[in-house]
Amino acid sequence: MASDLKRLGGVVAVGAVLAAAGCGGGSGGGHAAAAPDPSATAASTRAPSPSAREALAGRVIVVDAGHNDGNFDHTQQIDRLVNAGGFRKACDTTGTETDAGYHEAAFTFDVTKRLTTLLRAGGAKVVLTRTDDHSVGPCVDERADIGNRAHADAALSIHADGGPTDGHGFHVMYPPSMAGGKKVAAASHRLAAAIRDGYRSGTGLPTANYIGTDGLNRRTDMAGLNLSTVPKVLLECGNMRNSGDAGKLSSAKFRQRVAVALDAAIRHYLS
């Protein structure tokens, strides 16, 4: 989302025109084969073992689906400026989309639903920042507040980027300083590495070749991260403006693989 603004030269009141430029939306069903794991093949059709079922018991995880499809029709609301952690920034943006018109907001909501199912199956309490894909926002400061009020053990913002068409791959944003202080920032850095490692191995997608270093991107301009008092990172699952990445992100099978990878990465971080 902030990458949208950055690429547009810091202009914040841009609203719906961001659709083609920023990180950015769909639906679908289906179930992926996930990462190849011969040992899991037989077990995957059975109910989780007690240990798997309870692995996340007592844990609170916030899953923040980026943008919202209602944003497109409410540009005044999402363009208003809110606290971003020492500066002000637009409440939200529309996000990006693929050439075929698959919206980032729809993508993030679909992945969030899939991930939520897996995390809850593991015993976690999952808190969402939005529960539909047709309303507006919430604003980025409220997205942070939801995680703070939940006292989340981990919070993950899910996005897909609107990068250059020849750029591909995923990256994870983490903040150098946060409202939660140094310990929370350090934990967020560890969370970023865990998400990076789990996403790469679980999806097979490479780290971004156009931004960040080895899949990590240190950012000071992300309100949702700056304002967080709990460990939080933002994942750009791929580049919707790149045809190869767009093909994957548009696939329900790939999105299930994304959810399985993120569930495993969060379990690893919390273990």
Active site residues per annotation: 236
Alpha-carbon separation of residue 113 from 22, 26, 74, 101, 159 (angstroms):
23, 12, 24, 21, 14
| Residue 23 binds Zn ion (CB under 5 A) | yes
Q: Could you tell me which stretch among 33-41, 117-125, 158-166, 178-186 binds Zn ion (CB under 5 A)? A: 158-166
56 vs 205, which CB is nearer to Zn ion?
205
Q: Which of residues 41-70 bind Zn ion (CB under 5 A)?
A: 66
Phi, psi of 31 (to 5 degrees): -135, 130
Would you count residue 1 as binding Zn ion (CB under 5 A)? yes
Count the site residues for Zn ion by CB under 5 A: 5
Q: Does 172 bind Zn ion (CB under 5 A)?
A: no
State how far the Cα of 33 lies from the Cα of 72, in Å rounded to an integer.
Answer: 34
CA distance 172 to 233: 7
CA–CA dist 81, 251 (Å, integer): 35
Q: How far is the CB of 83 from Zn ion (least distance, A)?
A: 19
- Give the shortest CB-47-to-Zn ion separation in angstroms: 35
Please tell me whether residue 25 binds Zn ion under the rule CB under 5 A. Answer: no
For residues 1 and 194, which CB has a smaller minimum distance to Zn ion in the complex? Answer: 1
Between CA 201 and CA 194 the distance in angstroms is 11
Q: Which residues bind Zn ion (CB under 5 A)?
A: 1, 23, 66, 95, 159
